Amino acid sequence: MQQRVPASAAYFFYENYVLGSARIHAGWCGNCNDGRGKSREPPGDENGRWHGPFATRQDALRLALATRSKDVRNALCCIRDSGEA
């Protein structure tokens, strides 16, 4: 019963408390896995947490910038354009 959503449908970002960073991923990305991350276990929030889904990358970026993360960027694994989000 798994539904495929278009790649453009959802964006997430991972806030890393330890590094003080946030990385914006597309939901289809293997590292993001619709906000579940790579682990099969429920994501722990010791080192950070996923936020999302967001309908647009701009929304994800806005919320990522609203965290205390000092370093907010697109994840290179799934978002190729390195320009302004």
C-beta of 53: minimal distance to Zn ion in Å?
Answer: 14
| 78 scored as a contact of Zn ion (CB under 5 A) | yes
Chain CA centroid to CA 56, Å:
11
Shortest CB 74 distance to Zn ion, Å: 9
- Measuring CA to CA, which residue among 28, 45, 35 is closest to residue 13? 35
**With respect to Zn ion, which residue has the nearer C-beta, 1 or 26?**
26
21 neighbors 64 (Cβ within 8 angstroms): no
Single out the segment in contact with Zn ion by CB under 5 A; choices: 26-34, 37-45, 48-56, 59-67. 26-34
Among 29, 60, 72, 85, binds Zn ion (CB under 5 A): 29
- Spell out a b/e string for 46-63, using b for 16 or more CB atoms within 10 Å of the CB, else e: eebbbbbbbeebeebbeb
> Which CB atom, from 25 or from 57, has the smaller least distance to Zn ion?
25
